[in-house]
Amino acid sequence: MIKLVISNQRGGVAKTTTATTLARLWADRGRKVLLIDTDPQGSVGMSLGLKADKFLHHFVVYNHLFESCLVHATPNIDVLCSSRETIQAEASLMGVPAREMSFSLLFSKVDEPYDIVIIDVAPSITLMQTCAMVYAQSVLIPVSMDTLSLQGAGAFSAQANQLSAELTAIKTDASVLASSPSPGNLTKLTGAIATFKSTAQPLIREMQAVCP
Ligand SMILES: Nc1ncnc2c1ncn2[C@@H]1O[C@H](COP(=O)(O)OP(=O)(O)O)[C@@H](O)[C@H]1O
Ligand SMILES: [Mg+2]
């Protein structure tokens, strides 16, 4: 199973677009995809035109049946949508012991039918994002072709490394650590993907002209 967090601290770099596009590409190749939105803006549901009755917080905080919280967007894509209530959900998680493990404990019980789990996160370092990173262990960073986006990617990459080191150092939930494929490197940066390349093309050409 591939589990992937799509993140950059910068907004508007095509995180949601990357998450939904990857979901579609994998689904078209016959893979069963779970797409989870943890951004309170709820952009995944909006961009796919979904009508959700229940959201992330119903599953994570109120323990509603996972299946009842999903939207079956296509035969191969199930979506757990997000809403403004995700902010309250995050506040509730703050009081939970080993809170960073919340997603690992919850989603590992329900992700078995899926080949791919993709998590879209808010453009900030939040508890939800940390939970997503601990669960997925892999992070893909969309970087639009501008300086601030690159800085956001750098900050995020540093957080991933720090998180990995901290989780390895402290005593956390033994079952989660035991089930980790690489307990010494809990959260790793899978890669970065350049977005908005077409819009940046004139700028790239200009730069090449000045410094070939
Ligand atoms: N390749 C692209 N070309 C043009 N517009 C794009 C492209 N990718 C994304 N967008 C648009 O850019 C905006 C921001 O993308 P989005 O995926 O919502 O970013 P993020 O999730 O990082 O905030 C959206 O309006 C989206 O439709
Ligand atoms: Mg987004």
Q: What is the pLDDT of residues 25-72, one digit of tens each?
A: 999 999 999 999 999 999 999 999 999 999 999 999 999 999 999 999
Instruction: Print the domain residue range for 173.
Output: 2-210
CA of 184 to the centre of ligand 2 (A): 30
Give tens-digit pLDDT for 181-206: 444 445 666 777 777 766 555 555 55
Q: Is the pLDDT of residue 142 over 60?
A: yes
pLDDT (0 to 100) of residue 173: 42
- Choose which residue among 17, 120, 144, 201 to substitute to test ligand 1 binding: the one with the highest number of ligand atoms within 8 A of its C-beta: 17
Ligand 1 atom nearest the C-alpha of 19 is: 17
Tally of structural domains, the chain: 1
The number of the ligand nearest the C-alpha atom of 38 reads 2
The DSSP annotation for the chain comes to -EEEEE--SSSSSSHHHHHHHHHHHHHHTT--EEEEE--TT-HHHHHHT---SS-HHHHHTT---HHHH-EEEETTEEEE---TTHHHHHHHHHTSTTGGGHHHHHHTTT-TT-SEEEEE--SS--HHHHHHHHHH-EEEEEEESSHHHHHHHHHHHHHHHHHHHHHHHS---HHHHHH-S-TTS-SEEEEEEEE-HHHHHHHHHHHHHH--
Res. 117: pLDDT tops 90: yes
Q: What is the pLDDT of residue 204?
A: 52
Q: Which atom of ligand 1 is nearest to the CA of 197?
A: 1
Residue percentage of the chain with pLDDT more than 90: 51
Residue list, ligand 1 pocket, CB within 6 Å: 11-17, 43, 195-196
Strand 71-74 and strand 77-80: the pairing is: antiparallel
Mean pLDDT of the chain: 83
Look at residue 174 and tell me whether its pLDDT is greater than 70: no
| CA 40–ligand 1 middle distance (angstroms) | 17
pLDDT of residue 112: 96
CA distance 148 to 126: 19
CATH number at residue 76: 3.40.50.300
The Cβ of residue 185 has, within 10 Å, a number of other Cβ atoms equal to: 14
Q: Identify residue 1 by its one-letter amino acid code.
A: M
Q: How far is the CA of 26 from the centre of ligand 1 (A)?
A: 19
| Amino acid letter, 137 | Q
In Å, what is the CA distance from 18 to each residue of 12, 25, 135, 179? 11, 10, 19, 28
Of the candidates 19, 11, 17, the residue with the CA atom closest to the CA atom of residue 120: 19
Q: How far is CA 151 from CA 137, 139, 196, in A?
A: 21, 16, 16
Please give the distance, rounded to the nearest whole angstrom, from the Cα atom of residue 43 to the centre of ligand 2. Answer: 6
Which amino acid makes up residue 26? W
